[in-house]
Copies of this chain bind each other. A is one copy, B any other.
Amino acid sequence: MKVLVLDVGGSNLKLRVTGHEDRTKIPSGADYSPERMMADLKRATDGWEYDVATVGFPAPVVDNRLATEPWNLGTGWVNFDFEKEIGKPVKLINDAAMQAIGCYDGGRMLFLSLGTGLGSALIDDYKVIGLELSRLRYSSKYSLEDRLGKAGQEVSGRKKWEERFHRTLKMLRMAFVPDYIVVGGGEAKRLRNAEDFRRVDNMAALEGGERLWNDERFKL
């Protein structure tokens, strides 16, 4: 099945279709709307053929619908009918969960994405569970996102940020008892010590969007 995968991020819209090697990257931003996305999509995919689509989105998704507006894009997303506008069957999924699928290798995997914010998902025997672990406490004053997101890194510097990351990983390993932990996202490459996790690049997101349709073992 030919899958169009859209990865809607706070800085860029990334897209690819099964069979193409390259991905297309188009700037998004804090006022990015569904209408602009559709216009970008039409220009970028002119002449492409695909049967179905996956849309990865930086917000929690429940029953193929966005549960909240994304905090780092424009508005109008919650009630946007992706399936109608794209004109193909669409699976809507949290962006971290999509990336997690792209690097899943069986068992129980905890996935974290270090970007502007902190994304997270758990996959256990191909059952994909979108999580918002960014909302967990790092201390009584700060959340994990406060301390591990880009803002937290800028405030206290890379080194302290990395120390906090490894401390958090230890806590999450005890709480979720995963077989392995995978870390992706644009900031992951800034971690110097990668002994306690596997690192993955951002192409995993586009692969995840394809696998979600083409590997029937995955359940949302």
Contact = CB atoms under 8 A, between A and B. Distances in A.
A127 interface: yes
Q: What secondary structure prevails in chain A residues at the interface with B?
A: mixed
Contact of A176 (B124, B131, B140, B171): B131
A136 B175 contact: yes
Contacts of A131: 175-177
A174 to B, nearest CB: 4
A81 interface: no
A135 B174 CA distance: 6
A118 to B, nearest CB: 11
A18 to B, nearest CB: 27
Given A132-B176, A135-B171, A135-B174, 16 more contacts: A124-B127, A124-B129, A127-B127, A129-B129, A131-B177, A132-B174, A134-B175, A135-B175, A136-B136, A136-B171, A136-B175, A137-B137, A137-B138, A137-B139, A138-B140, A139-B140
